Structures are given as structure tokens and as C-alpha cells.
Structure 1
Amino acid sequence: MAYIASLEALASSMQSQTYEIHELGRASGFVVVSHLVYYENTTGAADFMATSLLEAAFVEVLREYPLLAGTMHECKHGRFKVVVDKDNLNLPEFKETQCETDFGVLKAANYAPSELPEGAATMGRTTDHSRKSPAKLARVHIMRYRDNSGVAIFVGISHALVDGYAYNLVMRRWAEICKHLAGSGSLDAKPGRPLSHGCELMDDFMQQLAPPAGAFIRHKFIPGGLVSKLLSGRSMKTQVRLIRKMCESGEFTSHFYFIAQDTIDEMRGAIKEVVPAEQPVSSNDVITALVNVAMAQSLEAAAIRDPQSGVLQRVWAALFGAQKPQPKVFVHMGAADIRPRLKIPAADDYCGSAVMRYAAHVPLDALQGPVTPKMLAIAATSARKGTDSVDRGYMYTYSSTIAEEPDCVMRPFIYGGQPPARLIITSHARIGHYRSDFGWGVPVWANVIEDTGTALCYVYPAPPTRNGLVVHMMLPKDIQDRMRQLPFWKENVEFIR
């Protein structure tokens, strides 16, 4: 059943307007930030997660963040724009379905996708967008389990509009308003502050970072070439299809692991014994080191793709690097949220894309053999250098390069470190997945939807009942199977599913 009456009534209270999206939104504009969040009805409340309240609160979020009801257009100079037409709104999908199974079945299966209803995720990890058929910029699917025993909520939002932090700002704002309504609060007295989504803040800050005339800024992006330039001129839909093709590399598996805080602290202590005293070692450095070492040691028998036989296949291989020698460098690609680096209070509430990618390189040989504190320190130091590299010069260059050379956002997929010795790690440990209380308690579990296109690792806070972090690995099956058998990995992590 779809609940859209209130959404359609939005037009009477909205203004037609065009919003520019900052260049940073283009760097991942074809991706969707999409999570599944699970709530258990532990008290048996009859009004648990009432859909009428969820819908009413979501409408208020749309009033504050009207871009979610707009249509995205590609522009020149590295930007997108979102057109909100009150007479032709591109309304988010908002629907509810009833599940025949009890929430306890899903819980017992550790929230495995196999126990979710068919079509739980109503959009994938990439945007199926074209000029003739613009994509919806947000979708919500509420799955209500038998006897109202629990609710699973899927929410997908275009990455051009939000990064992981901003996604959670939207979720928490939605939950904050809903909790207010559930307590018989009035919409005339909504709590908290409205969402801040204008890109003027980011533009102003980038201007402050601009170097003096004639200053030399080192080019931070991978150099371009003919292929990236050709692709950047294609439609978003074509780019997505080609990127999916480039990322294909056999069967992928998705597994979750729990790492106790005591284990993280113990590893941090061991690493600090062998690094310079002034070098900080964060939990992110520790987790990144652990994951990178485990994956690097699982590559020994990894097979490079078989040579292509046909003429077209050989051309494809030559263009996109399907045939590569065994890698000698392990590449860890990370995402740095620049809000803390802006050092202005308004940045904390910025609901837009404010993430920059970076890459750190470690000789593969340095991550082989018995795992020692020195080996972990090498990997942790590489992670630290990667995050520290996102300084004022990097931020200005990153933003301005997207504006001047729009093909740069394609280059990591084409010319960057190739699988298997490449891992993208995104940390969501501090951005609040377990703080979205709609009035009936916080989630019991949250995770991003699975991807089958590249080597990915997401780091989450553990659910409220546990002290530690959850690592979500999405890897080629052969690599992940070997990883799960590594003594070092088995000794330090707990397999969830």
C-alpha cells in the first residue's frame, strides 16, 4: 500500500526553484546512499511505528529539504542542478508493505537479506538516470512484520545530494519530527533546526582556501586520458553501465564481522609501541590496518581474469585493464568527511555532499608473512597519512579540479589501482546509525545494502547492546573465503553472518 496523499499535497506549500549542487556531489553523483534499518517492537505496542506519523514527519522533511522532490540535471563545469517544479514534482517513492513472517525470524537470521521480503530495496546502489527518464532522488519502503512485531525501513537517497553523514542528518531529522508527533506534539512547534542544504557554505569555504595568484598546487587527481574524457561526455546512465562493466569480476560475497572495543584498544597499544610517540593512532587507523592486512594476505592465490578471446573482448581488455600483472602495491581508498576540517559551526549541519576521496599505497610485500605490531603499524601509518593528506591544499584542488576537469571523477575507476589489490573503506562509525529514534526506540541493526561491483568495506558502530565496531566486507568470494580462514582474522574478529 502506498501512502502518497500528503506528499502530493506538498505542491501547495512549495516554491518552484532551481538548486545548484556543489562540485563534490558530482564525484559520486551516480551512486545511491541506501541503508536498511531495523526496529523491533519489544513492548508489543499496538501503534508501533505508525505509518501515518512516519508519513507526516517525512512530509515535513521534504518541506525543509525540497531537493528530494526535484529532478536532477547535468550541467557544465562539474556541477549538477536540481529543478523543483511545484506543478510537476518528482516526488519520492513512499510505500508500506506487510510481511507474513514474524520479526523474530529476521532477528534470528542476523538480518540476512535472504529473510527480507522480495524487493525490499526499491533502488540499487547506482542511479538509473537519464534526461528522458529522470530518477527519483529518494525512495522509502516501510516493511511491517506480522502482528506488528517489528519494522524494517529501506531509505535510498542520491549521493549527489547527501553523503553518509548528511544521509543520517536526514534520517535523524525525520525521526526527531516523528517522535515529536508521536508525543502529541504540534507541527507548529517542531523541535530542533531545519536541514541546511545550500551549497553557498561550501562555495564560500573553498574561496577561503584558494591559493594566492601564481601559487603552485600539486595535482591530486589521477591523470586523465582519452577514455575518461570520452566517458565523461556520456549521459549518467551510460557512465553507470560502463562502470558496472568495468567492476565486474566474478562472484561477490557479503559478510559481517564484530570487533570488540577491547581488541581494538589492545591493537592500538601494540601499534603505538612501534610508531613515533607523536603519531596519533585512531580506532579508524587500527580497523583499517586490520582489514588491509587481512585482505592483502588473502590475495596470494587470487586469479587474474582470463585473457579475452574475441576481438571486442581484447579491445575492452586493452582499454580498461582487464589483463594486469600480479599487483605489487596494495591500494586503500578512503573517504574523508571535510566538515570537521572546515572548523565552522555551520558545517556540522550541512546536508550535502562534503566527502573527498583519497588513496594510500602500501607495498604488498610489507603486508605478507606473520602478523606483527610492526606490520600493523605500517598499515595504520599508511591510513593515517591518507587521512592527513586531506589538508587545505588538497580540499581546494579536489573541488576546483572537478569544476575544471569533469572527467576526473571517472579516473579512479579506469586508471586507479585495479582489483584484486584494491579496497575501498568507508567508516560510518561516528555518523549516527543508531540514533534515529522515531518514538519507539533506536534501531536494533543497520546496514548498507550489498554491492556486487567492487571490493568494499563499511565500518559501523556495533548495535547498542555491544561495545565495538561492525565490519561489513563485500569482496570476491575467493578472497573472502580465504580471509575467513586466516588465523589472525579468526582470532580477532567474530563472524556474524
Structure 2
Amino acid sequence: MSTNPQEQFVKTLNPQTFELNGLDKAAESFYIPFFYFFENVFDDTNFMSTGLLKDSLFQVLREFPHLAGVLQNDESGALKIVVNPTNLNTPEFKETHSNKHFDEVKLADYSQYMLPKKANTTDAYLRGGPGKADKLVSINVIRFKDNSGVVMFISIAHVVMDATSYNWFVSRWAETCKHMFCGDAEAETPQRTLCNSRLELQKYIPAKNTPLGSIVDHSFIQGGARSKLISRLSHRSRAALFNFVIRASGTENHCYFITHQKLEEHREAAMLAASAKVKLSHNDIVMALIGIAVSQSLEPKKPKNALSKAIHLIKRKVVNVLFPKPTEFELGMAVDIRPRFDGIRTMGYCGGGAVEQRTLIPRNRMEGTVTANMVSKIASNVRLMTNSVDERYVASYIRAIVAEPDAMFRPLIYGAPPPAKMIVSNHTRLGQYQVDFGWGVPRWVSPLDLTAPNLCFVLPAPPPQDGIMVHIAMPGKIHMRMQKQTFWAEAARLIH
């Protein structure tokens, strides 16, 4: 009998089809790509053993068999994953070597510029062409000089799981690897309750939609020719278009550190300044601070010199005729539906479980000196947006995505014109720094740079730091202006 985990995994498979739903379809074109930086603190010669990492991966795939399937569209446009044991879409697993020492990476604050070329085995977008299925899982183990450390690039197709499910998968893989590393028998690996069935999820989605005219309308932007065209493109053509937009917009990635103490100071001041009693979270405050900082950085400051002022005024008038100044700023966010449904909360659902909600804020409310009152108003808007995601909202969202295939692309194209928008994905509760494959937790975790313009990931800061890391992708000139703002400089420290 074979003891090879990959062969054992294949033997456990039966032909099966996983039907996907609207929550999955909303993320059809994208990957969730992250880097995990591990340091070989104890000079272990067997540090992050490739064989053990690979064996434990195939062990845990038994609980996620659809990750070895092929993504397909049927004639109606519905998505499904087909698992065929005789023709598997086996996860990609590579190993790359770097001539740099891990200490150099640490000194550079874990900047991705320190990684080898093609360290990321996927970019942010699916791009499979005719006869070539997109890998649903792609992994690259990057080893540093003198066995000083390892970076793991882990990319999973967003269509099969959201960020919460992604972190459950990585944590489960790490847990399995650690038990194998310690020599534990398979039976000793803790059992977890996980659910991949979309039919189980559907049982808890109500039949009634949210009434028209409610806050739900803010997320269901009207479509047009551009979104319909993009929805008809192949994954390969869509990826090429998105990557062109990133390059053309001059998008840059920068990371900022904000302490929990600073967030708490802003939160308490904002709640005191509120006209009515309101309970705000750190996420509400982060969204408000980011929105204000970006909105105030869209246009250059007026020069003080009289001649420069005149030239600046003429240039602005010409630009405003060609490209009207946006009057609203759009804040969007991914909202996890699991806590909003009793049954889903406890089932360990590992598919797509997030919806997008957005709010449009008049930019004149975000201008001038940043006060507690300003932060309070924007944060309260975010709180209202979050609270509006109820059972009916989720039902409406799923049906809209299924009925109108271009709906998932509308927030990228319509609404407030870029760059007067920011979509924020908050990962601070997902336990990235608890992932332990047997050699300790990561020193640093970060999303792939340049995933999309006007996109922000909020992650926990690595221990022992007490705070959050804010990764923002937007045009470089806006980053430069934002970094010069007094209020942002007081709240956030630039990492790289």
C-alpha cells in the first residue's frame, strides 16, 4: 500500500462536481495571493522541509478536494468545479532559491523588491487560455541563502474561497504539517468542522430581497457597455486589461503602520464628537482615516508663489474641463456574512462568504483641517454601511450577481471615478500570525504588491508590535501627497 500522500489523496477522490453560487461568481477573475516570511531562528538544517510541506499539503487537500478540480462555465453562465480523478488540476508547488540572506530581507522591512523574479507564481488575476485550466492553488517556497529563511507564496483562486476561508485553509495546512513534523499519527491530527457545500449555505439565505430604495442600492451600481464588455472577456484578456490599467495609472504599493493606541484615541474622540450616541469600531476609524487621507491627496496643494498660483489655476481649469473633479469619494469594503446568519456562523463554511458594500461621501465633508467631528461623521457612515448588510441584503446581492454577469465589475468602473475611491479588505481578525508549520510563526505576512489600483489591505502588525499594517495600492503621486499630510504622518508611519 502506498504511503505517498499525493497518491493517497488521488485514491480518496471520486468524480464530483461542486456547484458555485453568486458569492463565488463575484470573485471569478481574481486570486488571493499572499507572502509568508519565516526566519530560521535556530539554524535548523531541515527548516521548512519541502518534502514535509508538500506531503502535508496533499494530506489537507483531502478536506478540500475541489481545489484539485477545473473551473468551468456551463451554458447558462453558472460556475462549477469539476473534479476528475483521471485528469486532475493538481495544485502547483514550486521551489525557488534566492542568493540573498534573510537578514537582508529583514533590513528592507520585508519589501517584495527583495524577492527573486517570479517569486509570485500567479499575479492577482486568473489567466487560463484555451485548453489550459487555471490552477486553483499555486505555491512557491522561496529559500534564502545559508538556509536563513523561507518565504511561502500561497495563491488561491478567489472563486473557490474568500479571505476567511483562505486563512482557514492555510492554518489547517500548517496544523497538519506541524503534526507530521512532530511525528504524530494521522489519527492524532485534530478534527475540524469544515463545509464546502454551497447548497448548505443556500439553506440560510432568505427568499426575500431587500426593498428597493434602501441602502442596498448604493452597492448595486447601474451597469453599462464597459462592464458588459469586460464580463464577456476571457480570463486571459481580462488579466491583460487589468494589468495594463495598473501600469498606466502609475500604481505603487506602500505599507503604513498604525498603533492600536492611536486608533483608540481617534475612536474615543470620534464617539465624543458624534451628534448622537454611536458605537464605532477600529475598522470604522481606519476606513475614515484612509478615506480622508486619500481624498485630500487627489489634487496637488495650491502653491504660495503668485505666478505659480496663476499657472496652477490655469492648469486646474483645463484639467477640470477634460476630467471633471469628482465631487464624491467612494469607500467600499468586503463584509463577511458568516456572523450575520446563525446557521452559517457555526458551520465552518469554506467557500465565498463575503459581499461588497460601499458608501459615497461628499468630498466637501472631507476637506480642510481633520477634526474629531470630521472623522466621526465619516466613521459613522462606514458603521451604517456595515450594519446595512443583513440577510436580505445578502440575498439581493447574490441574485444580482447571478442575474447580471457584469455586476461584479461595476464597482471597479462606475460610481466615483478613480482615484476617488478605495476598496478596503480588513484581515485583522484572521490569525495570520498564528500560522505555524512546525518551525514557528511568520515574521511578516503581506499581500502581493500591485494587485489592483485603489485597493487597500489591512492586516495585523507582526508581534510584538501592537497595531495594524495598512497596505495601499494607488498612483504614486497620491502616495507622495498623502505622506506629506500632517494628520496622516501623525497617525501612520511609512514602512516601505
Q: Same fold (TM over 0.5)?
A: yes
Comparing 413-422 with 335-344, which one deviates more in the overlay? 413-422
Q: Are 1:109 and 2:112 an aligned pair?
A: no
After superposing the two structures, state which structure 1 stretch, 181-190 or 283-292, moved more.
181-190
CA contact (8 A) 2:96 2:119 kept: no
2:165 is matched with 166
Question: Aligned with 2:204: secondary structure?
Answer: helix
- 1:455 paired residue number: 454
* Matched residue, 1:327: 326
Contact 1:217 1:397 in 2 (8 A): no
Looking at structure 2, the residues matched to 70 and 217 of structure 1 have their Cα atoms a distance apart, in angstroms, of: 41
CA distance in 2, matches of 1:242, 1:251: 15
Is 1:211 the counterpart of 2:208 in the alignment?
yes
Does 2:373 correspond to 1:374? Answer: yes
Kept in 1: contact 2:6–2:59 (CA 8 A): no
Contact map agreement 2:127 2:237 (CA 8 A) in 1: no
Residue 416 of structure 2: aligned partner = 417
Q: Summarize the alignment of residues 336-347 of structure 1 with structure 2, pairs less than 5 Å apart.
A: 336-344=335-343, 347=346
Structure 2 SS opposite 1:410: helix
Partner of 1:354: 353
- Answer yes or no: is the 8 Å Cα contact 1:25–1:79 preserved in 2: no
Q: CA RMSD in A?
A: 2.3
Query: Could you give the per-residue CA deviations for residues 134-164 of structure 1, whole angstroms, max 9, x where no partner exists?
Result: 1111111111222221111000000001111
1:344 positional shift: 2.5
Partner of 1:311: none
> Residues 235-277 of structure 1: CA distance to partner in whole angstroms, max 9, x if unpaired?
3333444444556643122111111111111111110111255
Structure 1 51/246 Cα, relative in aligned 2: closer, same or farther at 3 Å? closer
Distance 2:153 2:284 in 1: 30
Q: 1:50-99, CA deviations, whole angstroms, 9 ceiling, x for partnerless residues? A: 22221111011211101111110123556310111100101111122232
The TM-score normalised by the length of structure 1 is 0.90
CA contact (8 A) 2:251 2:476 kept: yes
Does the aligned pair in 2 maintain the 1:425–1:458 contact within 8 Å? Answer: yes
* Comparing 134-143 and 322-331, the one that deviates more: 322-331
Partner residue in 1 for 2:10? 11
Residue 34 (structure 2) pairs with residue 35 (structure 1):
yes
- For 1:33, the aligned partner's letter is I
CA contact (8 A) 1:243 1:413 kept: no
Task: Give 3-state SS (helix, strand or coil) of 1:409's partner.
Answer: helix
CA distance in 1, matches of 2:243, 2:45: 44
CA contact (8 A) 2:56 2:176 kept: yes
What's the CA shift for 1:45? 2.1
Secondary structure (helix, strand or coil) at the match of 2:434 reads: coil
Question: Counterpart of 1:318?
Answer: none
Change (3 A) 1:270 1:410: same
Q: What's 2:44 paired with? A: 45
Q: Distance in 1 between matches of 2:384 and 2:345?
A: 27
Please state how far the C-alpha of 1:215 moved relative to its aligned partner.
7.3
Q: Which residue of 2 aligns with 1:314?
A: none
Secondary structure of the 1:157 match is: strand
Q: Is the 8 A contact 2:108 2:114 kept in 1?
A: yes
Question: Secondary structure at 1:434's aligned position in 2?
Answer: helix
Identify if the C-alpha distance between structure 1 residues 87 and 268 changes in structure 2 by more than 3 Å, giving closer, same or farther.
same
CA contact (8 A) 1:65 1:195 kept: no
CA distance in 2, matches of 1:194, 1:395: 24
**What per-residue deviation string (whole Å, max 9, x for no partner) do you get for residues 86-127 of structure 1?**
001011111222322221111111111121112110100001
Is 1:479 the counterpart of 2:478? The answer is yes
Whether the 8 Å contact between 2:5 and 2:59 is mirrored in structure 1 is no
SS of the residue corresponding to residue 424 of structure 2 reads strand
The more displaced of 448-457 and 433-442 is: 448-457
Q: What's 1:404 paired with?
A: 403
Counterpart CA distance in 2 for 1:8 and 1:252 is: 44
Match of 2:428 in 1: 429
Q: Is this contact kept in 2: 1:459–1:469, CA < 8 A? A: yes
Q: Does 1:261 align with 2:269?
A: no
Unaligned runs of 5+ in 1: 303-321
- Residue in 1 aligned with 2:85? 86
Alpha-carbon shift at residue 278 of structure 1 (Å): 3.5
For 1:404 and 1:457, the matched residues in 2 are separated by: 28
Q: Which amino acid aligns with 1:471?
A: V
Asked whether the equivalents of residues 123 and 451 of structure 2 are also in contact (C-alpha less than 8 Å), the reply is no
Residue 231 of structure 1: how far off its partner (Å)? 3.6
The 2-side partners of 1:379 and 1:144 are apart by: 44
Unaligned runs of 5+ in 2: 302-320
Matched residues in 2 for 1:21 and 1:188: separation?
A: 31
SS of corresponding position for 2:131: coil
- The structure-2 alpha-carbon separation of the partners of 1:140 and 1:211, relative to structure 1 and needing over 3 Å to count, comes to same
Q: Do the aligned residues in 2 keep the contact of 1:78 with 1:405 (CA within 8 Å)?
A: no
Matches within 5 A, 1:7-406: 7=6, 10-75=9-74, 79-193=78-192, 195-206=194-205, 209-211=206-208, 220=217, 221-245=220-244, 249-276=248-275, 278-301=277-300, 324-344=323-343, 347=346, 349-406=348-405
Residues 26 and 78, structure 1, Cα contact 8 Å, conserved in 2: no
1:38–1:151 contact (8 Å) kept in structure 2? yes
8 Å CA contact 1:427, 1:458 repeated in 2: yes
- Is contact 1:77–1:406 with CA below 8 Å preserved after alignment? no
| C-alpha contact (below 8 Å) 1:129/1:237 kept by paired residues | yes
Distance 1:165 1:74 in 2: 25
Indicate how the Cα distance of structure 1 residues 415 and 492 shifts in structure 2: closer, same or farther if over 3 A, else same: closer
Q: Distance in 2 between matches of 1:365 and 1:427?
A: 26
Q: 1:268 to 1:77 in 2, by over 3 A?
A: farther
- Taking a change above 3 Å as real, the CA distance of residues 76 and 326 of structure 1, as seen in their structure-2 partners, is farther
- Asked whether 1:492 is paired with 2:486, we answer no
1:131: how far off?
4.5
Per-residue deviation at 1:290? 1.0
Counterpart amino acid of residue 208 in structure 2: P
Hey, what's the Cα distance between the residues in 2 that align with 1:416 and 1:259? 29
Once residues 431 and 74 of structure 2 are traced to their aligned partners in structure 1, the CA distance between those partners, rounded to angstroms, is 33
Q: In 1, are the aligned partners of 2:335 and 2:386 still within 8 Å (CA)?
A: yes
Q: Tell me if structure 1 keeps the 8 A contact 2:21–2:402.
A: no
Deviations 1:354-373 (A, max 9, x none): 11011111111111111100
More displaced, 169-178 or 122-131? 122-131
Moved more, 44-53 or 169-178: 44-53
The answer to whether the 8 Å contact 2:201/2:344 transfers is: no
Q: Distance in 2 between matches of 1:78 and 1:160?
A: 14
Q: Please say which of residues 73-82 and 96-105 is displaced more in the overlay.
A: 73-82
Aligned length: 472
Q: Which amino acid aligns with 2:137?
A: A
Residue 72 to residue 279, structure 1, CA distance change in 2 (3 Å): same
Name the CA distance, whole Å, in 2 between partners of 1:255 and 1:226: 33
Residues in 1 aligned to 2:260 and 2:50: alpha-carbon distance in whole angstroms: 37
Which amino acid is the alignment partner of residue 340 of structure 1?
A: P
